[in-house]
Amino acid sequence: MNPLVAIVGRPNVGKSRLFNRIISKRKSIVLDLAGTTRDTIYDTVEWNRTRFDIVDTGGLTDDKDGIHFKIHKRVETVVKEAAAVLMVCDARSGVLPDDRTIADWLRTAGKQVFCAVNKVDAPEDPSAVAEFYQLGFQRVFAMSAEHGYGVDTVLDAITEYLKAGEHGLQDVHEDERRPLKLVFTGKPNAGKSSIINYIIGHDIMLVDEKPGTTRDPVELKAEIQKMPVVLIDTAGLKKSREGAPVEALSALKAKDAIHRSDIVLFIIDAVQGVTGYDKKIITMVQSYGKGCVVALNKWDLVPKQDRRMVMESISEAFKFVEYLPVVTTSAVSGEGIRTLVSRVMKVLHDYEYRIPTSVLNKFFRDVLSRHQPISSSGKIIKSYYLVQVAVRPPVFVVFTNNKSGIKDNYSKFITNRIREVFGFEGIPIKLLFRNKD
């Protein structure tokens, strides 16, 4: 996965404004992975031919009660996973006790910290940030998230560090050979762990095991069809209850695992069927841009006379994501497990597939010959060419002379045609329109 850079700091220092500035100013947008998990928002950016994830976190205070406890635990989890930390301070208020507490904690975390002093009116004046060196960090930057001063310098320093270290970072134009991260998720007792156990015993060779607590994600390193994989079993996702911080923290960790995954295997209890919360989880998975396969588990417990009705209800419930493959399984008998693994590998292939330019051009010419977009005024909108700019998930850009005139139904038309011709089973496709300069 991409290395993670975490933005941390006390409340109201400008963390979110800086985050928004970075993602809107990046030189090349790969894809948006925006997904909110309470106080965190993720995105993936490119800067100086370097790709990394960035996350905005909640403000840290000395209050450890209620929601502040959850925020602290959430930020601790994020920092633990991060390759680097961007600590944001406020030049107007100066160094406060909370700043010192956060700085002391970050040093114990053993992370590379870049201290960004926000709200500086004159970033070229070194005296504007002089007092912040007392926090003990070598890299202190003057900047203004509101006006953009100094943000480039901060990003240059971060990418230089990421390139120099061993953080799983590769040039954005290089192919990456790393283990597939396959996350198993769903509501409690749907059979996630049972399916993993069956796979381990019958379909893969276990290489190494990294145990966690019953509430933490458990990672299993393995191989599927000679491909290195990491199987991640997460805590069951369910509607949160007030006053249950441990369950809330488990859910946050499960959502983190989903965000950092490649493919999500969503397990549904066939006896219970699909609920509204299942739909919300699927929506979240798709908003993160992840490939997904649905396993309808405990199929052996569904009476044969009811199976057609159950499948029809599943199709109706997931009509908004018709491209998701659904496989019926039984972790007890092993029914459907091999098919499930095969579908996962097919989704992975589509997740990483880049259509050759010549093939894509021929496809788009055929699309335009059949149907061209028309503006609200009745004029034909010229579309020049279609390019694929990213994989994991696939992102396509149509260059046109009037992107604002493109209607949603035309976007859906092209997306559906891409699926019909090239597949992309289980994969959300992102289609963008840009004006040709």
What six digits make up the tokens of 91?
């030049």
* Digit-coded pLDDT (tens) for 75-93: 888 898 899 999 999 999 9
Cβ atoms within 10 Å, residue 316: 9
Reduced to 3 states (helix: H, G, I; strand: E, B; else coil), residue 134 is: helix
What six digits make up the tokens of 300?
């052996």
Cβ atoms within 10 Å, residue 330: 21
* Digit-coded pLDDT (tens) for 310-323: 999 999 988 888 89
pLDDT, residue 370, reads 79
Work out the end-to-end distance of the chain between its first and last CA atoms, rounded to an integer number of angstroms.
34
The tens-digit pLDDT sequence of the chain (437 residues) is 678 899 999 988 999 889 988 887 443 333 333 333 344 677 778 888 888 888 888 888 776 665 566 677 778 888 988 999 999 999 999 999 999 999 999 988 888 999 999 998 765 666 678 788 889 888 889 999 988 888 988 999 999 999 886 554 444 444 445 678 899 988 888 888 888 888 877 433 233 344 333 345 677 777 787 788 888 887 666 665 544 444 455 566 677 778 878 899 999 999 988 888 888 888 888 888 899 999 999 999 999 999 999 999 999 988 888 899 999 999 888 899 999 999 999 999 899 898 988 898 899 888 888 777 666 666 777 877 888 888 888 988 888 877 776 777 888 889 999 999 998 999 999 888 888 76
Phi and psi angles of residue 258, each rounded to the nearest 5 degrees, phi first: -65, -45
- The answer to pTM > 0.75 is no
Please give the Cα distance from 304 to 30 (Å, whole number).
46
Q: In what order do the strands lie in the sheet with 140-142?
A: 36-37, 40-47, 50-56, 4-8, 84-90, 112-118, 140-142
- The angle that helices 66-81 and 245-259 make with each other, rounded to 10 degrees, is 30
Cβ-contact 151, 118 below 8 angstroms: no
All domains of the chain in start order, with CATH: 4-164 (3.40.50.300), 180-352 (3.40.50.300), 357-435 (3.30.300.20)
Cβ-contact 60, 70 below 8 angstroms: no
